[in-house]
Structure 1
Amino acid sequence: MLIVRIKSLVILASLAVGCTSSFAASSFRPTPAKDCILASPIQSSASIGASVKPPFPPVQLDISVPIEPTLFPSGDFNYLVYELHFQNYTDESLKLQELEIVDVSRTPSRAVVAFTGSQLYERLLPIGADKIDDEHPIDGGKRAVALICLAFDNAVTIPDKLGHRMLVGDSVAEGPIIGTRHTKLNTLAPPVMGKDWVAANGPSLHSHHRTGLFVAGGVAHLSRRFAIDWKQKDEQGEMYYGDARDVRSYYSYDEKVFAVADATVVSAQDGLPDNIPRTAAGFNTAVSLTMENVAGNAVVLDIGDGQYAYYAHMKPGSIRVKAGEHVKRGDWLGQIGNSGDSRWPHLHFQVTTSPDILASEGLPFVIDHYRTRDDNGVWQSRTSEYPIGDIAVEFVLDSVTPLK
């Protein structure tokens, strides 16, 4: 196996609204990434929990968190991304009015954020209904999922545990208490190199990854919770130059893909053809999709601690590793293609709890070294952060590390 060993720096240029830096001018106040709410553990103790007493019998609204979150840094904030599942166990409609998240590490406990009105309803993903809002309650027997992203300023102490309360009509439904550091946060090398990358489709309310609940093995999973689609774009924001139906016209196509950590290869699938890219003329995959080929040509690495790195949609004939092999951080694994369920050439990369691309839970990770340019054009060095938001990214080789 031909091996390329690399060390890396990452240059991130912020394109997404709300991605800013503390190194900007003093008059410029940083804000969290889009669709993430600033949480403050020093808010008043007054809350719906204090003003409304739990009824008897309790509100028959089941509130659960399938997988507890793990805090991760990005820019000027630390983030928690997770979901709350709501199940109405009655025959009657329940009106969801306010979701309160509480720091229960403190005595007395204090609310850190409250979602009301459109801020609440835009985060609710209805299951079996068109919408849930002030005029459309959650019907009897129905479910909904709240997509939560909390941002904590770097200067504040992060709660160890969070509680949840939902105001339902004039009653309160109590939710679960969760931890904020559930799994190990792995520091990884970048999976691609070079310029003009965009970390697309990360956690947001408008990302198909974030909203992509999928039942596999009889269980609803969110394996793509922190998945990133690595795409290259030019200064005009275009992914290609020339014939839009030719994969070779796309800047990302045939770019090399690298191991993010010392790892064992769990699986390596090759031989699936590239799709003709999607255009106004339509889109069809080159082969009928199944659970076995939805990722296309792919590599899965066991990176330890019960975590797996998944590389999907790679170029046919480019896979350089086999199942059972051991790879080192920076080893060349293959090239980007357009195989499987892929509309345009890109690398789909995610870290999960199992080697199955869909029957697993997505976990956060951070990239080792990088520097970022803020909205004012100021370059900054950063280490061990997750590139949240659809931000432009440039990876460059360390000049002291030769290719092998």
Structure 2
Amino acid sequence: MSARLFAHAACLCSFFGASPLLAATAADLPPPRGCDVIAAGAPARAATTVQTIVFPPPQLDMRTPLEPTVLAGTGRNYLLYELHLHNFSDEAMTLRGLEVLAGSERQALLALTAAQLRQRVRVAGASSEEGAAQLAGGQGAVVYLCLAFDASAAVPATLRHRLLLDGALADGPPIGTRHTLLAVLGRPLQGTGWTADNGPSIDSHHRMGVFVAGGMAQLARRYALDWKKYRDGSMFAGDARDVRSYHAYGENVLAVADGEIVQARDGMPDNIPRTPAGFTPAVPISMENVAGNVVTIALGNGQFAQYAHLQPGSVQVKTGQRVRRGQLLGRVGNSGDARVPHLHFQVASNPDILASEGLPFLFDQYRLKVAENAWEARAREYPIGDGVIDFGTP
């Protein structure tokens, strides 16, 4: 696929971001943009049908490289995944809509119009501004889907997808919704004021960051989070170009589970934080150093916890070492492809922070700020949204 489809794909960076949100309860936090709410008891819509089945059927390949897994996330249950499309014909196909169906049901859980679908599609060789209404012959695209089920809504065991074309329908194969064994992790940080930025929104470079390496298009940062720390609505106090002005800088980074260190790198300098005047990394960014000072823990079951952009000189572990949950690994920094001090955290299918598939995970417990001086305990969830989080103190 064209490199234009993957613009900004290599950027592990974090910009200033929005201020944290407050809500009456966790369920009141809005889902990320591009996540469609499936309400309990909502009237179902009959799936689209055609009177005549054309031959040959639309030559549109429709695949999901990594099937989703039901993920509890701040008051809802989420399915987060992608459809990779490839037009194998020599004629253009116009995408008129998409329906998501539950198992063998004839009713649609979700029906996206052409305009809604356009927001969720990136076509190879076309910028996002050009939309995704049409796939030329031989062209490919990625559809980024996120279903947000209300807590009381049933999540089907399988899904099917139907693309509406001009005068035809293209049906994809069924996919499961319980693919990955969810790791339940301890806290990666301690204390309060943390916000999980750049989560699964179609505005996030993490979510839209499909990256080709080793001949495979993968999405390592599907569930990645950029942990930033706020006080009084701001990430820093003082000189915005001084890393020490940022509340997250130098905070302890902790092992989320027992495991073996399979990657530990130190010695990369911090960057001067990005400001409106611009940004220049301390050293040129490459595939080898994009994560900066980094630690990776093998969790077992083919899953790896990755911590990026650590402070130079702070890494406390070495490759091959066994660590215990809660053990100090290093400190928050601004190394590698980082614009402001933060902790980039993700779980992936191998130790390569870009050439891997991002996997879902849960934190065993944290507190979510729901009002001024009011907190709500959350357990076994993935923190979705821009809420303020308290991981507690030792």
Aligned to 2:59: 60
1:293 aligned partner, one-letter code: N
1:248 aligned partner, one-letter code: R
Instruction: Select the residue among 172, 180, 185 that pairs with 1:175.
Output: 172
User: How far is 1:380 from its partner?
Assistant: 2.4
Q: Does 1:381 align with 2:377?
A: yes
Aligned to 2:328: 332
1:289 aligned partner, one-letter code: I
Aligned to 1:74: 73
Residue deviations 1:321-358 (CA, integer Å, cap 9, x gap): 01111111100001011111111111100000001000
Q: Does 1:307 align with 2:329?
A: no
CA contact (8 A) 1:226 1:350 kept: yes
Change (3 A) 1:75 1:101: same
SS at match of 1:163: strand
SS at match of 1:248: helix
State how 1:1-400 maps to structure 2 within 5 Å.
Answer: 15-16=20-21, 20-21=25-26, 32-39=31-38, 43-44=43-44, 46-48=46-48, 50-51=49-50, 53-104=52-103, 108-131=105-128, 136-236=133-233, 238-374=234-370, 379-397=375-393
Cα distance in 2 for partners of 1:135, 1:193 equals 42
Change (3 A) 1:376 1:308: same
CA contact (8 A) 1:34 1:389 kept: no
CA contact (8 A) 1:228 1:350 kept: yes
SS at match of 2:389: strand
Cα distance in 1 for partners of 2:203, 2:45 equals 33
1:339 aligned partner, one-letter code: S
Cα distance in 2 for partners of 1:67, 1:296 equals 27
User: How far is 1:140 from its partner?
Assistant: 1.7
CA contact (8 A) 1:132 1:138 kept: no
Cα distance in 2 for partners of 1:393, 1:243 equals 25
Moved more, 347-356 or 39-48: 39-48
TM-score (norm 1): 0.87
- Aligned-residue sequence identity (percent) comes to 49
Cα distance in 2 for partners of 1:248, 1:357 equals 26
User: How far is 1:32 from its partner?
Assistant: 3.8
1:167 aligned partner, one-letter code: L
CA contact (8 A) 1:19 1:31 kept: no
Cα distance in 2 for partners of 1:171, 1:262 equals 52
CA contact (8 A) 1:223 1:361 kept: yes
Gaps of 5+ in 1: 1-13, 23-28, 398-402
Change (3 A) 1:156 1:331: same
Change (3 A) 1:293 1:300: same
Change (3 A) 1:164 1:60: same
Moved more, 333-342 or 239-248: 239-248
Residue deviations 1:106-150 (CA, integer Å, cap 9, x gap): 5x4432111113221101112112358889422222211111000
Gaps of 5+ in 2: 1-18
Change (3 A) 1:18 1:115: farther
Change (3 A) 1:366 1:121: same
TM-score (norm 2): 0.89
User: How far is 1:97 from its partner?
Assistant: 0.8
User: How far is 1:370 from its partner?
Assistant: 2.1
SS at match of 1:144: strand
Moved more, 52-61 or 344-353: 52-61
Change (3 A) 1:261 1:96: same
2:47 aligned partner, one-letter code: S
